[in-house]
């Protein structure tokens, strides 16, 4: 798929026309997604969005975003490939006070003016679809875990702890001698 998507759209007009957008969005247009990827990775995301009205008459965008990202495994700190398959199902509103869609169980997308910056919208959906802590299915931690026995723990705690009131006690004893 080599169709480039527009940068800005009027979602209200696309909903009126019951339009569909299909195309690709290069990773270069998604700076917040680039921040979480391994440096110098390139790629693109396939995007398919339907602009429609829900059964209850709410303006909606439904579709999907698919692609792959190179992330850092949070266990072994090595690069890993992560598939992204985000399902998009949001209700559009022009007002921040409109809570009807949220009450109906829909995710809300606020469009302040008549324009929607499509890369930002897609980027939000990608970031929401990523795991909070990406990890390989099986890998070893970057630093091996060390188990400490109760005796060793007591020794460690006893060694490094100085009594914070010891200095005050010394002052008190010093005042008594004067």
Residues near 163 by Cβ (< 8 Å), separated by ≥ 6? none
Q: Are the CB atoms for 43 and 67 separated by under 8 Å?
A: yes
pLDDT, tens digit only, all 178 positions of the chain: 458 899 999 999 999 999 999 999 999 999 999 999 987 777 899 999 999 998 888 899 999 999 999 999 988 889 999 999 999 999 998 876 666 665 566 788 888 888 999 999 999 999 999 999 998 888 877 777 677 778 877 777 766 666 777 777 777 776 666 6
| Domain residue limits, the chain | 8-129
**pLDDT at position 140:** 77
**pLDDT at position 31:** 93
**pLDDT at position 42:** 78
What token pair was written down for 109? 């997308």
Q: In this structure, which long-range contacts are made by residues 88-94, counting pairs with CB atoms below 8 Å and at least 24 apart in sequence?
A: 88/49, 88/61, 88/62, 88/63, 88/64, 88/125, 89/60, 89/61, 89/62, 90/60, 90/61, 91/54, 91/58, 91/59, 91/60, 92/11, 92/12, 92/15, 92/58, 92/59, 92/60, 92/61, 93/59
Kindly report whether the global pTM for this prediction surpasses the value 0.75: no
């Amino acid at each position: 798929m080599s169709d480039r998507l527009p940068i800005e759209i009027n979602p209200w007009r696309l909903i009126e026309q019951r339009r569909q957008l299909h195309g690709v969005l290069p990773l270069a247009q998604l700076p917040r997604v680039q921040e979480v990827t391994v440096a110098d990775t390139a790629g693109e995301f396939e995007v398919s969005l339907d602009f429609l009205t829900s059964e209850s008459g709410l303006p909606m965008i439904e579709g999907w975003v698919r692609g792959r990202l190179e992330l850092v495994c949070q266990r072994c700190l090595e690069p890993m490939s992560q598939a992204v398959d985000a399902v998009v199902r949001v209700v559009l509103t022009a007002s921040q006070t409109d809570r009807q869609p949220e009450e109906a169980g829909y995710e809300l997308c606020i469009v302040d003016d008549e324009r929607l910056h499509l890369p930002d919208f897609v980027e939000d959906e990608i970031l929401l679809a990523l795991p909070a802590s990406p990890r390989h299915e099986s890998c070893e931690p970057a630093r091996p875990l060390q188990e400490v026995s109760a005796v060793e723990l007591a020794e460690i705690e006893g060694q490094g702890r100085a009594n914070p009131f010891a200095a005050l006690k010394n002052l008190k004893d010093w005042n008594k001698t004067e």
